[in-house]
A and B are shown apart, each in its own frame.
Chain A
Amino acid sequence: MSSHAYVAEIATDRDGNEHVVQGWQDDMYGAKLGFWLFMFTEVLMFGAMFMTLTYYMMLHEADFVHASASLNRYLGGFNTVVLLISALTMGLGLLKMRHGDIKGAKTMIWATIVLAFLFLGVKGVEWSLEYSHGVFLGLDALQPGNEHSKPFGQILFFGMYFTMTGIHGVHILGGIGIMLWLLKRINSGKVTPEHHILHFNIALYWDLVHLIWVFVFPFYYMMGAGTEMDTATLSSTIEAISHLGGSNEHH
């Protein structure tokens, strides 16, 4: 199955004209097409979740605004910037690969990986902060019928929030995995400036992952911004984080 030795076949019609036969080997366009189709399925998956979210938002608008106000816009905003930069490094890496600068391409991929980890780290801090406020899947606040229960709209908001940011996080993790694999393929000479379809497709994937976040961020974080419930300030955020390490001892 070595694709290097592949020579396309020629088909001849009845007038003697020759036509190059497209084989499955060496089909850059086909590989792109396939990956675009795959991305379509991702869009549909997240699309269905956004639809669900919109439906519940229409039923419980006030609750949604209220719940949104309690999210941490500083951390969420920081993460948005991190992902945007990572999309840039990813794109630059692809450009460098195309121009034959393999070393530069690898640096950019590594930079993207580091930013991805940073994103996950910040996300982890956010979830922990929410946990320490008693808001997490399985905790009383998100269960019905007890003294800490939040109203339905908020339960649904947070249910979807943890679901969607969680699934998005899984995509980031997956992205890190395939980027490491990409580095391995580059090192073993399987991905080269002439044959960089894998790099191209992974860059496409990463674009999608950051694009989804670009929709997640306003939907969850910005809905409650600037309302009277909005208590997030930079100083309270820093304070909350500094308490995070010791929070177990207090409770």
Chain B
Amino acid sequence: MSKSYLDLDQTHCAIGHPKTAFWQWMLTVDHKRIGLMYAAVIFTFFFVAVATAFAMRLELFAPGAQFMDGDTFNQAFTLHGVIMIFLFIIPGVPAVFGNIVMPLMIGAKDVSFPRLNWFTFWLYITGALVALSSLWSGEGFADTGWTFYAPYSLTTNTNVITTLVAAFILGMASILTGLNFLVTIHRLRAPGMDFFKMPLFVWGIYATAWIQLLATPVIGITLVLAILEKYFGIGIFDPSKGGDPVLFEHLFWIYSHPAVYLMILPAFGIMSEIIPTFSRREVFGYRTIALSSASIAGIGYLVWGHHLYTSGMADTAKVIFSFLTFFVAIPTGIKFYDWVFTMYKGKIILTTPMLWALGTIITFTIGGLTGVTIAMVGVDIHLQDTYYTVAHFHYAMLGGVVFLLFAGLHYWFPLMFGRMYNEGHAKFAFYLNFIGFNVLWFPMFIAGYYGMPRRYFDYLPEFEIYHQISFVGAVIFITGLITMFYVLIRAIKNGEKVGPNHWNATTLEWHLPTSPPPLENHTKVPYVDFMPYEYHHGQPVVKFDYETMKRID
């Protein structure tokens, strides 16, 4: 039997040649193994944050205090937000599938700097441990919200510094991942594969990597300034010394708005892989999808001010930021039309990944369009810091990014493990998730519209009904999550064995000699003289001999 990258000794290590499987995993530089380890860690954190969210939902079941006081609630939403953003969704798609799949898609043996990749993973772990350490030390976890706004973050005596340090370290890890991927995509594409022959997921990762590289340093230095402010009182954000707290908000969002595209662009990349594969049709508007990723990344830099409509910014600035924000919707809209046109007259196959992708088209459309509503200054003055906004970003992040991450998980699962999960069960889990998610978050649009404020542990009795429906949704949703992971995890060991190209897909990651893939990927690097999604009568056009990687069609 041929060996796969999961077997003993099938890895290169950063230091020496350890003999045991444990150390071979800890020291591995193989992009596929590193991606798997990221997956294990980030999904663990995801569940911690989900548990925190569930605690908040329980607390919000009825007005008044149930089992948490206000301070604990403040720490709970901060913990939830910090984990979800910095530990889960920012590394998210790039760290997992950027690592596992992107090099395979371009026909590379690994990323450009495999050791740096290993180092980056452990940097990420270090950041995570620093963040968690503040749970049990000092005055407990930060209570500022994940945004750390000055001046409150400067005066609270919870462990803000630890959290800031952690966010800084995690930022470094994100920068290094982006840097590694940029060089990889520029240098290691198989001969013949020019930029416009790359799979669209690679385009998504590419655009993301630029954001990681160009936006993260700004938050990095902002966090350093905030840390110095807290330790040494340099005064920059402290109004009692003439500093300007709104400057913190600007610097924070100069990163954090592009960061939302950093989350969604690689996720859109997953969508662009799944839709053509299960429509058995060449993707509609390949170039427009590729270039819209790039232009979203570009325009995304210029819109951060829409987070500051209520903080006393000049009116002219508000209008300009509002106008620019509408612009981002255009390339995003183009993508959605492209996907829909791809399916039109396609031969749609409703596999589990396709279901997740289709579900996301609905949920992200709601998330995206409600975003356009609060891009309008007047409307946002009313809805800022209400549950309307919270529902908007959960529709965009959970119903967009995370749903697509799950779609990718189901799509590339047979590639990663050489086995298949039970599709019936997995689809059942999808429906639970999809229904649960909408019941959980849709009522919050209404509650927010009527004035339910964000970040409050208590509320007026008239909002009770919305919170209770939402709670029911949370129960269904979390049941769905547990079912989904149970189905997948069971399949890692017991799933039915499948070959290298289970979905009849076209891109290079499906043309590997063994299933799961061997250590150094393709037997030979192919010459790429074809487009990524060539189907004819529902069958892939390009066929390879997996020994020589020569085309045999």
- Interface residues in chain A, defined as those with a beta carbon under 8 Å from any beta carbon in chain B: 1, 9, 11-14, 19-24, 27, 29-30, 33-34, 37-38, 40-42, 44-46, 48-49, 52, 55-56, 60, 137-138, 142-145, 151-153, 155-156, 159-160, 162-163, 167
Is the C-beta of B224 less than 8 angstroms from some C-beta in chain A? yes
Question: Roughly how many angstroms separate A99 CA and B51 CA in the complex, as a whole number?
Answer: 62
Report whether A13 and B192 are in contact in the complex, using a CB–CB cutoff of 8 Å. yes
Distance of A37 from chain B, by nearest CB (Å): 5
Please name 15 further chain A to chain B contacts, defined as beta carbons within 8 Å, in addition to the given A22-B187, A41-B220, sorted by A numbering.
A1-B114, A13-B529, A29-B187, A30-B183, A33-B182, A34-B182, A40-B214, A45-B220, A49-B225, A55-B244, A55-B247, A142-B233, A160-B236, A163-B234, A167-B224
Closest 4 interchain pairs by CB?
A: A152-B242, A159-B234, A19-B191, A44-B217
Partner of B234, one of A12, A45, A151, A160: A160
Binding-face segment, B76-84, B105-113, B312-320? B105-113
Known: A142-B233, A156-B241, A163-B234. A24 touches B109 (CB 8 A): yes
Find residues 218-235 in chain B having any chain A CB closer than 8 Å to their own CB.
218, 220-222, 224-225, 228, 232-235
Interface extent on B, as a size class?
A: 35 or more
Report whether A23 and B186 are in contact in the complex, using a CB–CB cutoff of 8 Å. no
Distance of A108 from chain B, by nearest CB (Å): 27
Q: Which residue of A lies closest to B175 (CB)?
A: A41
Residues on B with beta carbons closer than 8 Å to the beta carbon of A14:
527, 529, 550-551
- Interface residues in chain B, defined as those with a beta carbon under 8 Å from any beta carbon in chain A: 12, 29, 108-114, 175, 179-180, 182-184, 186-188, 190-192, 213-214, 216-218, 220-222, 224-225, 228, 232-236, 240-244, 247, 251, 254, 524-527, 529, 549-551
Report whether A49 and B221 are in contact in the complex, using a CB–CB cutoff of 8 Å. yes
Q: From DSSP, what is the main secondary structure of chain A's interface residues?
A: helix
Distance of A234 from chain B, by nearest CB (Å): 31
Residues on A with beta carbons closer than 8 Å to the beta carbon of B114:
1, 24
Q: Which residue of B lies closest to A154 (CB)?
A: B242
Report whether B232 and A38 are in contact in the complex, using a CB–CB cutoff of 8 Å. no
Question: Roughly how many angstroms separate A30 CA and B110 CA in the complex, as a whole number?
Answer: 13
Partner of B241, one of A40, A44, A155: A155
Report whether A152 and B241 are in contact in the complex, using a CB–CB cutoff of 8 Å. yes
Report whether B232 and A137 are in contact in the complex, using a CB–CB cutoff of 8 Å. yes
Q: List 10 A-B contacts (CB under 8 A).
A: A14-B527, A14-B551, A24-B108, A24-B114, A30-B183, A48-B251, A52-B236, A55-B247, A142-B235, A153-B242
Known: A30-B183, A55-B247. A22 touches B225 (CB 8 A): no
Partner of B187, one of A1, A11, A33, A56: A33
Report whether B112 and A156 are in contact in the complex, using a CB–CB cutoff of 8 Å. no
Residues on A with beta carbons closer than 8 Å to the beta carbon of B12:
1
Residues on A with beta carbons closer than 8 Å to the beta carbon of B240:
144-145
Report whether B221 and A45 are in contact in the complex, using a CB–CB cutoff of 8 Å. yes
Report whether B233 and A137 are in contact in the complex, using a CB–CB cutoff of 8 Å. yes
Partner of A155, one of B222, B235, B529: B235
Known: A44-B218, A49-B221, A52-B236. A23 touches B188 (CB 8 A): yes
Residues on B with beta carbons closer than 8 Å to the beta carbon of A29:
187
Question: Roughly how many angstroms separate A167 CA and B225 CA in the complex, as a whole number?
Answer: 10
Question: Roughly how many angstroms separate A229 CA and B247 CA in the complex, as a whole number?
Answer: 30
Partner of B233, one of A37, A52, A143, A153: A143
